[in-house]
Amino acid sequence: GQNIDQPTEMTATEGAIVQINCTYQTSGFNGLFWYQQHAGEAPTFLSYNVLDGLEEKGRFSSFLSRSKGYSYLLLKELQMKDSASYLCAVSWRDKLVFGAGTILRVKS
Amino acid sequence: EADIYQTPRYLVIGTGKKITLECSQTMGHDKMYWYQQDPGMELHLIHYSYGVNSTEKGDLSSESTVSRIRTEHFPLTLESARPSHTSQYLCASSAPRGTGYEQYFGPGTRLTVT
């Protein structure tokens, strides 16, 4: 079976750092993706991890531990425009299995 | 920049009408997908295709049908729309990334059935 868990909602302050966690149990694994989705819009790619460790890209970083079935997305220097839903997705057999998403609200 | 297009962007239609949601991509991707997403809810895969003349049902049962006659085109059809079909429909195509496949999404069609 496929199971991906993320917190439903998080709130953080502009300029702060926030970490969004994702745990997964899937029948296979070809990598883990993070997507950002603003309300009413399509998801857009943020990051991809296939090996253990941290991938950094500007204000966004993503971490993966395959042995623990765990990933997190780290957002630094939060901006109001970062208010969105963040989707964790496991790649398996040409498909992506999505979590329900974490709604991040950034307040001033 | 991914080039995947969906039309119409918004559609309001009465119960019982037949509708076709269009999806096209210019990247030459073999794999394409249709998702259904209600506001604030998760993405549900309803159809996918691995290439021309290949279509499969996704994880969420749907009364819609799809076809794949050309690589670039993956339309979704509802023979008789009902209010329960009101939702956002997202089309995607994918390309290899590492050992997985990255998906590129179209802008979506927001369907309202009255």
Looking only at Cα atoms, what is the longest distance across chain A?
A: 42
Which candidate, B109, B23, B8, places its Cα nearest to that of B71? B23
- Residue A102, token pair as written in the block: 């974490």
CB contact under 8 A, A98 and B42: yes
B2 pLDDT exceeds 80? Answer: no
Q: How large is the average pLDDT for residues B51-69?
A: 94
**Residue B75 near residue B20, CB atoms below 8 Å:** yes
Cβ-Cβ contacts under 8 Å, A31 against chain B: 97-100
> Any idea which residue has 């090996």 for tokens?
A51
pLDDT value for A102: 97
Of the partner residues A30, A92, A98, the one whose CB lies closest to the CB of residue B43: A98
- Gap from B9 CA to chain A (nearest CA, Å): 11
- Residue B42, token pair as written in the block: 């998760």
Q: How large is the average pLDDT for residues A24-38?
A: 94
- Gap from B80 CA to chain A (nearest CA, Å): 25
DSSP state of B34: E
Q: What does the buried/exposed string (b/e) look like for B48-83 if buried means 16 or more CB atoms within 10 Å of the residue's CB? A: bbeeeeebeebeeebebebbbeebbebbbebeebee
Specify the amino acid at residue B77: T
pLDDT value for B1: 55
Judged on CB neighbours under 10 Å (0-12, 13-18, 19+), A23 is: middle
Q: Which range (A15-19, B22-26, B52-56, B96-100) has the least confidence?
A: B96-100
A99 pLDDT exceeds 90? Answer: yes
Cβ-Cβ contacts under 8 Å, B45 against chain A: 95
pLDDT value for A1: 66
- Confidence tier at A94 by pLDDT (50, 70, 90): confident
pLDDT value for B61: 85
CB contact under 8 A, B42 and A101: yes
> How far is B15 from B114, CA to CA, in rounded Å?
6
Which candidate, B72, B65, B34, places its Cα nearest to that of B51? B72
> How far is A34 from A87, CA to CA, in rounded Å?
6
